[in-house]
Structure 1
Amino acid sequence: MKKRKKSNMEDFKDSESKSVSETVNGSHQFTIKGYSLAKGMGAGKCIQSDIFTVGGYDWAIYFYPDGKNPEDSAMYVSVFIALASEGTDVRALFELTLIDQSGKGKHKVHSHFDRALESGPYTLKYRGSMWGYKRFFRRTTLESSDYIKDDCLIMNCTVGVVRTRLEGPKLSSIPVPPSDMGQNLRALLESEVGCDIMFQVGDETFKAHKLILAARSPVFKAQFFGLVGDPNLDKIVVKDFEPSIFKAMLLFIYTDKLPDVQEIVDSTSMCTSTNMVQHLLAAADLYNLDRLKVLCEAKLCEELNADTVATTLALAEQHHCAQLKAICLKFAATPSNLGGVCSKYYRCKFQR
């Protein structure tokens, strides 16, 4: 039998390692309102963005409305990205994008990423080192373009910090299955095995486990095991919620996930996803289920529109949801949404 000849790769593979270089990317959007008022500050004078962090280093955008150098001040605006934290020989790639505000998507892009194979990353030697363009854009062209709208200019900066790591061979790998705790606890709830408390909600009853409820909700813990609680309590009448909302809250307590509205209500129900989540947020606030409350806020943000913003705003105010309230106010104040919100308001007013 002929002995198989080794390939060139096999001849040299007694051991191995791998050097992996990659970028840690992050972006920052810098908006300059009142561009016309910024002009005339003089060459070398700049407007600085807020500090942002990418790859463990701080960065800032510097915009020079009259150019960085006196010789360019009458002709060009200058834009630079600077290393704003301590560091030596920080290697990075950059991209500066001037946003086209006409909606046509014709952004002006200066990208170092596209030239990485040709010239490699740029090295910033110390804090204050810069990368950018003295002649970023001719001023007269910029001021007559769609990059400025309502005296406002928007830039997006992407930084890719280069990181290199050494990988050795993995001796073994054992796959770890995903957690099934939520599935198991849900099965326990649905089987009613070991249940020691029953809730009467409208015409429906729900059985559960006091210890699990107490572990998840400070309100249930106080009700069952607090100083004035009753550990022998075996039935509670709940008057403030629809059965479907209480069922959804129980499912969250056992699974730690926001349940799907289709799981909770039957096909004949008029209850919408938004309506159910609004009521579920109120239940979460009552029982101090903080994670459920935030999940409901996030879901309501996703479904926010002219028809729901008013009720969602009122709910956010009532239950002290500061982030949700701010998003509702911002949505309603946006010019493109204002017409729909007002139309909905007057329609509701005249239908009463």
Structure 2
Amino acid sequence: MGKCKRPTPKTVKDATEHPEGPSKPSALDRLEAANQFLAKIMKLRWYQSFVILSNFFPFWQNKSCLGFLESHPRKKILSCFPSSSSPSSLTSPKSETTALVVGNKSEDHVVFVPLQPRLGSPSSSRSVTETVNGSHNFTIKGYSLAKGIGVGKHIASDNFTVGGYQWAIYFYPDGKNPEDNSTYVSVFIALASEGTDVRALFELTLLDQSGAGKHKVHSHFDRSLESGPYTLKYRGSMWGYKRFFRRNMLESSVFLKDDCLKINCTVGVVVSAIDCSRLHSIHVPESDIGAHFGMLLENEECSDVTFIVSGEKFHAHKLVLAARSPVFETDFFDGMDEDNPEIVITDMEPNVFKALLHYIYRDTLVEDEDFLASTSSCTPSLSDTFAAKLLAASEKYALPRLRLMCESVLCRDISVDSVANILALADRYHASDLKSVCLKFAAENLVAVMRSDGFEYLKENCPLLQSELLKTVAGCEEEFSGGGKSRSVWAQFSDGGDTNDRSVRQQTWENGG
């Protein structure tokens, strides 16, 4: 680059008009102007770093700056401003570069020389497509009795959730395809909830019950799919095999044992998301507050109230009990037990009260064999089970979460013979979720339930529940007529009902696929 010519400043006029020439600013004025200019450049944020060489620096006078500009590898001059320009009149160069700012001794020009571009903070994102996987085990007991239900009719598993959608396994004992004339059994996986263009991978496994581990597996997961995952367009869409297994071979195979088949289904729902997680993370352990409060209960440290239950003493803390139960809060701070260090409980057994305290302090159910044992006996003594007694305690002390836990335990044992008694129990202790499940199950299996001993108990002791059951039956009929998958309730009467003692919905659904 050649030397910069010194343009005549516009503020300088002819010497005849100003014989003495323009007044020269002092060194202090020049320093202040340079500092103001520097502050302006910093505010504009065009530049990462720069050097100011103004005419008050001694080395500028020996012309070293011109030599520096001549030798600089990036010496392209972008723009030139007279130093008389106010900082507000400066504009950004077109190229976002840092600059070396120099001043000219006689005319105070400002020269921008590009150095290196200023880069913003780098950003990144990552799109991740993966599968959310879940499995369901479906046991078909009484295979020989299921044969002959008809081509295209199936036995369905309970719905299970994977990736935010409901799924179900359909087993066709006589096959799905009429052309096969019941030569094969068919197995399908169906989308059982609302959804549009749900993409998923599937795996169906017929379990080898001999212990050899030679299962029959049909899987998407262990092979490359040319067209990608399978797409289910809408609710009721299915994927599976019309010719899953030749029936005569199945009946003599290791897959059928004690008239029972076991099918495992794995669903992998395809999801895509932008992963903005940091490269490093800190693991936060699960809360252990329940363990600490549990130790407080076990050690009896600082306890201030004693409960006497059938002669057995339990030490506890009023503040903890009051914080968890509004009933205890009223008793201790608003009622007659405020200053009473001992309270006698007459309507509860010691092991039930112990489980109640365990929940209050630890927020978990007690691990008790009696509590976890099956309650599916078909006698009115269901109310004498541990789960039923703890349900009553949760109602007494207004503990809704404990009530739901007990409802969940009781729900596992709903069957044709037990549903009437569980329904009566749920109604007595305002267990609304359990009651709703019982009503729906009883409606779907009405004929068989009406023949049970438990239904006689229901008629004698809970007549109002019969009207609620009829309303539920009517609702099931509407669902059937509207195209739902539930079998018609009244069709059960023409079939003679189902007298099997079953604990899940193993019923024949009409052409659900």
Picking from 266, 278, 285, the partner of 1:158 is 266
Distance 1:151 1:188 in 2: 52
Q: Residue by residue, what CA displacement relative to the aligned partner does 1:289-329 show, whole Å, maximum 9, x if unpaired?
A: 76679989999xxxxxxxxxxxxxxxxx9xx999xxxxxxx
Distance 2:145 2:272 in 1: 44
In the alignment, structure 1 segments of 5+ residues that lack a partner are: 1-12, 261-272, 300-316, 323-332, 334-352
Distance apart, 1:15 and its partner CA? 2.5
Instruction: Tell me the amino acid that sits aligned with residue 153 of structure 1.
Output: L
- Counterpart for residue 338 of structure 2: 231
Distance 1:60 1:90 in 2: 15
- Counterpart for residue 142 of structure 2: 33
- Counterpart for residue 125 of structure 1: 233
Distance apart, 1:19 and its partner CA? 1.9
Distance 1:171 1:145 in 2: 52
1:82-121 equivalences under 5 Å are 82-116=190-224, 120-121=228-229
The answer to whether the 8 Å contact 2:356/2:390 transfers is yes
Distance 2:312 2:174 in 1: 72
Distance 2:135 2:287 in 1: 33
Cα pair distance change 1:90/1:252, threshold 3 Å:
closer
Aligned residues: 279
Distance 1:58 1:242 in 2: 41
Distance apart, 1:155 and its partner CA? 2.6
- Counterpart for residue 79 of structure 1: 187
1:233-252 equivalences under 5 Å are 233-236=340-343
Distance apart, 1:166 and its partner CA? 1.0
Distance apart, 1:121 and its partner CA? 1.8
Q: Residue by residue, what CA displacement relative to the aligned partner does 1:33-83 show, whole Å, maximum 9, x if unpaired?
A: 3446533834xx231414624323333334344444454336433322233
Instruction: Tell me the amino acid that sits aligned with residue 241 of structure 2.
Output: Y
Distance apart, 1:94 and its partner CA? 1.0
The answer to whether the 8 Å contact 2:133/2:269 transfers is yes
Identify the range of structure 1 (140-149 vs 26-35) with the bigger mean alpha-carbon deviation: 26-35
Picking from 242, 249, 258, the partner of 1:141 is 249
Distance apart, 1:93 and its partner CA? 1.0
Instruction: Tell me the amino acid that sits aligned with residue 230 of structure 1.
Output: D
Q: Residue by residue, what CA displacement relative to the aligned partner does 1:221-241 show, whole Å, maximum 9, x if unpaired?
A: 454345x52322234467999
Distance apart, 1:25 and its partner CA? 2.4
Instruction: Tell me the amino acid that sits aligned with residue 31 of structure 1.
Output: I
The answer to whether the 8 Å contact 1:277/1:296 transfers is no
Distance apart, 1:90 and its partner CA? 1.6
Say whether 1:49 aligns with 2:151: no
- Counterpart for residue 210 of structure 1: 318
**What TM-score does the superposition give when structure 2 sets the normalisation length?**
0.41
Distance 2:391 2:293 in 1: 19
The answer to whether the 8 Å contact 1:85/1:127 transfers is yes
The answer to whether the 8 Å contact 1:142/1:148 transfers is yes
Distance 1:177 1:169 in 2: 19
Cα pair distance change 1:253/1:82, threshold 3 Å:
closer
- Counterpart for residue 268 of structure 1: none
Partner SS for 2:253: coil
**What TM-score does the superposition give when structure 1 sets the normalisation length?**
0.56
1:289-300 equivalences under 5 Å are none
Cα pair distance change 1:87/1:41, threshold 3 Å:
same
Distance 2:226 2:214 in 1: 25
The answer to whether the 8 Å contact 2:300/2:316 transfers is no
Distance apart, 1:259 and its partner CA? 8.1
Q: Residue by residue, what CA displacement relative to the aligned partner does 1:110-130 show, whole Å, maximum 9, x if unpaired?
A: 122222467642222344433
Picking from 55, 63, 66, the partner of 2:171 is 63
Q: Report sequence identity in percent.
A: 56
The answer to whether the 8 Å contact 1:35/1:153 transfers is no
Cα pair distance change 1:134/1:276, threshold 3 Å:
closer
- Counterpart for residue 304 of structure 1: none
Cα pair distance change 1:72/1:259, threshold 3 Å:
closer
Instruction: Tell me the amino acid that sits aligned with residue 199 of structure 2.
Output: R
Identify the range of structure 1 (245-254 vs 14-23) with the bigger mean alpha-carbon deviation: 245-254
The answer to whether the 8 Å contact 1:20/1:166 transfers is yes
The answer to whether the 8 Å contact 2:391/2:407 transfers is no
- Report which of the two structures shows the higher radius of gyration computed on alpha carbons: 2
Partner SS for 2:223: helix
Distance 2:319 2:218 in 1: 60
Distance 2:146 2:196 in 1: 36
Structure with greater contact order relative to length (CA < 8 Å, sep ≥ 6)? 1
In the alignment, structure 2 segments of 5+ residues that lack a partner are: 1-120, 374-385, 410-424, 435-500, 502-513
Cα pair distance change 1:89/1:147, threshold 3 Å:
same
1:242-281 equivalences under 5 Å are 253-256=360-363
Distance 1:186 1:143 in 2: 54
Distance 2:149 2:308 in 1: 72
Distance 1:84 1:241 in 2: 43
Distance apart, 1:186 and its partner CA? 6.1
Q: Residue by residue, what CA displacement relative to the aligned partner does 1:308-352 show, whole Å, maximum 9, x if unpaired?
A: xxxxxxxxx9xx999xxxxxxxxxx9xxxxxxxxxxxxxxxxxxx
Higher strand share: 1
